[in-house]
Chains A and B, each alone.
Chain A
């Protein structure tokens, strides 16, 4: 009926096509708007899960000490241990699979709200390696693009059409529907996987210690390197005491990583303490590991105590407490 009326009014195929296409696009944009807003509402309504932890770190925490880093930060730094040792409240803002660019974006949001007293940044081997498609992992920041302008320049590094894609209401929540749904139920709360951002791992490594050969001849990603420098500068400008650490790996092979050498040199130049535990022999014990790059909860407790003691030795801590 509708089609016949439109066709009679516009006798040419082209006008007919334009009208029908406009109606179709209107339908698509309406659905995108409604579903996008619904997903946004439920995303920020989550009370548990990793997305909730990320939102908490970005928008809510007021902890004195913040931990930044990837999965190794999430699994290696126990806030309760650091709190007890340092006498400061602590929150682990690490996120699985996230690079330095993610940490910088979160830092910018945090500093806009308040200035923590201390930040511990955990860096990985090959942290600055240039990897094609490595900015894809910044997708976890997409839900914050609209409400956090300070993050935009970093999110837009995902690709030159990112701004255009973000016109869609659904796109920031791409592939996240199930996670959002679970985050709005009691399921995650019952599982209790996280403790102030810390995610304990419970397995014990039973195989022999592997002999990994880490690649050394990789190219350095200038954006990642720049993000590291900006991270240090932003902390300095905000008078935040920054500690940088490289937590341990389970490997027989002692290694010298290019990224760690660069990170160390920059930290030294900027007068920032750098704790390199990547080759720390007392921590090369299989029973302390869940898998080769990740400590289990016993290892994390040991390591958190070690870091706290190291911090206590530095002169910076005296001015904070």
Chain B
């Protein structure tokens, strides 16, 4: 069930109405049943996989809490192995097997291991990571083990963030299922506003840009360097709007019912360096890796070479988390490399800025830094979006010449795409640098505020792509 479908609209109306109607003690059940229905609308059978990991993690949590120090680690290991095994089987098995075949072929041997013909369960990486954060936090003593099986299941399955995050922490979410949420006007309207804004980003920007990006990236040999360059820029905005739209809608849906989910995006394309970008992009995943991988590896409190290794490894794993393909691994490695290089070149860059006087003109300095960061991120997106590694290299080669005509299938659709990006950047620029000034969406006047949101809905009707597909991050 996609957020951008009528099926979901009816589902949301029914579930939310019932949520505020049923007594508090039954609300967890209502949400759990609704979440099961929501998940089963994709591929029903996969709820069993989710069910198995929920049972394992539920008992692991209780066992970790009640066991002695030595056994606690064993229970945590069992839980982590179970979760990672599910990921490996469904997400990485065929990828690993394919690479193994390639290796065997190199030695003139045949790979006897057959491929699995299975579909990747939707949102597997998201709910697996959320489940893992629970057992880790119980192990660390930051979270009490949840004894209520239904509420624990709901923590993993809460429908707004079940398939594409934000990846929540038990300390933030679990207790909220026990709290009594009243119908509050302010909170409900804030939630609905976020949902409208999410739909705007998805339907007007992401799905519009997807038409061009797909046409060009799915047919790389037939497109010029200039078209590929434009498609890459478009993809940067497509993926941002697609994913942040999902997060906005998820946070908004939860907010309507009284739940607070963590912020997942904070205008990432205004970041001035790669490290800042990762503090603004997919925040729930970045912090997950920081808390559960980077810091346990030693973080930056280790010798410099080891620190760089830690950074590189975290981004390599992050790439692999996104998908079982070398394109994602290279994308992750590239981001890791960016960060290491930024650290190595810090002194040189500071000197250079001083010598050209850039640090004396802060506005220009910010502009230059933002542009360079955006360019580096776009370069990495080429690997993320390319269907194959060879395609990515062809794209880079073609873009480097910037030759050839610009592919324009329909001039008016191209104008809509550019206008959509312009509109988004205008709003984000205002929010980033002029927060208190010229308020439309937060205006104190009811008419101005509501007219702004009504206009957003009208723009969706006028320029939205209603036949667009699912959210990109569903596949992860």
Which residues of chain A have a CB within 8 Å of any CB of chain B? 2-3, 13-14, 16-17, 20, 23-24, 27-28, 31-32, 35, 133, 136, 139, 161, 164-165, 168, 170-171, 173-175, 177-179, 182
Contact = CB atoms under 8 A, between A and B. Distances in A.
Nearest to B459: A170
Given A35-B462, A165-B466, A175-B413, A17 B457 contact: no
Contacts of B465: 175
Contacts of B462: 35, 170, 173-175, 177
Contact of B450 (A16, A23, A161, A170): A23
Contacts of A175: 412-413, 416, 462-463, 465
A14 B412 contact: no
Given A20-B189, A175-B413, A179-B412, A168 B461 contact: yes
B9 to A, nearest CB: 9
Contacts of A174: 461-464, 466
A278 B223 CA distance: 28
Nearest to A173: B462
A119 to B, nearest CB: 29
Contacts of B292: none
A239 B473 CA distance: 55
Given A13-B185, A24-B453, A133-B467, A3 B461 contact: no
Contact of B183 (A2, A17, A20, A31): A17
B337 to A, nearest CB: 39
Assign chain B's interface to a size class: 20 to 34
B446 interface: yes
B185 A27 contact: no
A31 B450 CA distance: 12
Q: Classify the secondary structure of A's interface with B.
A: helix
Given A14-B20, A31-B458, A179-B412, 14 more contacts: A13-B182, A13-B188, A14-B183, A24-B450, A24-B453, A24-B454, A28-B454, A165-B466, A168-B461, A171-B466, A174-B463, A175-B412, A175-B413, A177-B463
In the A-B complex, the 7 residue pairs with the smallest Cβ-Cβ separation, listed nearest first, are A178-B412, A161-B6, A13-B185, A136-B467, A170-B461, A27-B454, A28-B454
Residue from A16, A161, A182 with most neighbouring chain B CB atoms (10 Å): A161
Contacts of A13: 182-185, 188
A263 to B, nearest CB: 27
A178 B415 CA distance: 9
Nearest to A29: B454
Interface in B392-435: 412-413, 415-416
B440 interface: no
Contacts of B415: 178
